[in-house]
Chains A and B, each alone.
Chain A
Amino acid sequence: MTKPLQRILLVAGCLLACPTASVVAQEPVATSNVVHVLGLEGVKKKTKGHLFVSSGEVRFEAGTAKAEVAVASIQDIFTNADNKRLIGGKLGTLAMFAPYESDRFLSLFRRGIDVLTLKYRDAKGALHGVIFILPKGQAPLVKKQMVAQGAHASIPVEEEGQKPDTKQERKP
């Protein structure tokens, strides 16, 4: 094959690849295995679904249930690392009846999770709070995406994860 033909093929290949790349860039990035703890209207508590951050909105989808929050209306975003029992749900409840206190032993095995808290005001100016549980390490990434699209965050992403001074807390 001659060199000019190779060049033509190369250029054609680049032209074909470019639109595909732009489509990929516009695709919303979904975070799966996200649990909606509370706050979204129209979505039940503790529903598992996908979280999308795209075109100026945060969208949570769980089957037919959907809820959106405009990124611009977000006043603050907080992330926090936590942990959860490895065996939970119905199986975890059944484990309570297992012999030799094995339930307590199983409680020692835990998996890390991230808690993402959003504080926003709707079109009427009403304050809302939304809490999500994300797989470990995902919350700072989602926060970064939201901040990049115009959400406000009082604590920068880099400073998140540093534990506050709990000594100041007063016991009830």
Chain B
Amino acid sequence: MRRIPYVSVVLALFGAFVIAGWVATPAQAQQTKKLKASAIQVFAVECDEVKLPPAFEMALYENLIDQVRKTGKFERIYRDGERGAADEANLVTLHSKVLGFKEGSERLRQVTTVAGATSIKVHVRIADRSGQSLVDRDVTGKVVFFGENLRATHNLAKSVAKIVRQNFQKEGG
């Protein structure tokens, strides 16, 4: 039986990898192309369908602003109703709609460790000036083991900030 030389197998594999990489690179480059915007306006949390306690609603809104600011991707961050936002040329808007909410119990978590989790599910939409969606995602914030119930809003806002980091790059950066 004739043996296939070891070197030729290695060379064939190497060639296959090179070709695969060459084919995949343009697609990946398109995927990693990030959006740019100089300002973002964070709108109040919509909770028409699912009742969210006012403390959670305001905590989520404030945490979203706080976490988006921490990303450092935008020069200016506007709140809901802020007048200066209308004059921004390159503005994106962040909308969040509550899809589900389950208020757990801090006492139950501390006593049992496994029960009493709090969770909030929100649909996050980042749109441009014309209203066209740039990012559409469902995000969940949870407190499973330690922390107050309101910490779920902080965790959710951190996840939204992660999405912002993945999809946006600083203007001029």
A residues adjacent to B (C-beta < 8 A): 37-39, 76, 78, 80, 83-85, 103-104, 107-108, 110, 115, 117, 119, 121, 124-131, 164-166, 168-172
| 7 pairs, A vs B, C-beta closer than 8 Å | A39-B62, A84-B106, A125-B82, A166-B51, A169-B102, A170-B49, A170-B50
Binds A, one of B5-13, B53-61, B88-96, B127-135: B53-61
A126 to B86, CA, bound (A): 12
Residues 107-138 of chain B: 1 if any A CB is under 8 Å from the residue's CB, otherwise 0?
10011100000011100000000000000000
Q: Which residues, 25 to 82 on B, are CB-close (under 8 Å) to A?
A: 44, 49-51, 53-55, 57-59, 61-63, 66, 78-82
* B150 lies within 8 A of chain A by Cβ: yes
A19 to B111, CA, bound (A): 56
B50, A129: Cβ atoms under 8 Å? Answer: no
| B49: chain A residues within 8 A (beta carbon) | 170
Interface residue from A107, A117, A125, A129 paired with B83 (Cβ < 8 Å): A125
| B80: chain A residues within 8 A (beta carbon) | 126-127
| B102: chain A residues within 8 A (beta carbon) | 169, 171-172
Residue of A nearest to B140 (CB): A172
| B54: chain A residues within 8 A (beta carbon) | 76, 78, 80, 117, 119
A170, B100: Cβ atoms under 8 Å? Answer: yes
A117, B58: Cβ atoms under 8 Å? Answer: yes
| A121: chain B residues within 8 A (beta carbon) | 81
Residue of A nearest to B105 (CB): A83
A125 to B78, CA, bound (A): 10
B51, A168: Cβ atoms under 8 Å? Answer: yes
Residue of B nearest to A164 (CB): B51
A166 to B103, CA, bound (A): 9
A38, B63: Cβ atoms under 8 Å? Answer: yes
| A129: chain B residues within 8 A (beta carbon) | 57-59, 61-62
Most A-side CB within 10 Å, residue of B58, B66, B107: B58
Interface residue from B58, B66, B121, B150 paired with A130 (Cβ < 8 Å): B58
* B101 lies within 8 A of chain A by Cβ: yes
* B84 lies within 8 A of chain A by Cβ: yes
Q: A39-B62, A170-B50 are in contact. Are A131 and B55 (CB under 8 A)?
A: yes
B81, A80: Cβ atoms under 8 Å? Answer: no
| B83: chain A residues within 8 A (beta carbon) | 124-125
Residue of A nearest to B41 (CB): A126
Interface residue from B53, B101, B106 paired with A172 (Cβ < 8 Å): B101
Interface residue from A107, A115, A127, A170 paired with B107 (Cβ < 8 Å): A107
| B110: chain A residues within 8 A (beta carbon) | 85, 103-104, 107
B58, A119: Cβ atoms under 8 Å? Answer: yes
| B57: chain A residues within 8 A (beta carbon) | 129
Rounded to whole Å, the gap between the CB of A82 and the closest CB of chain B is 8
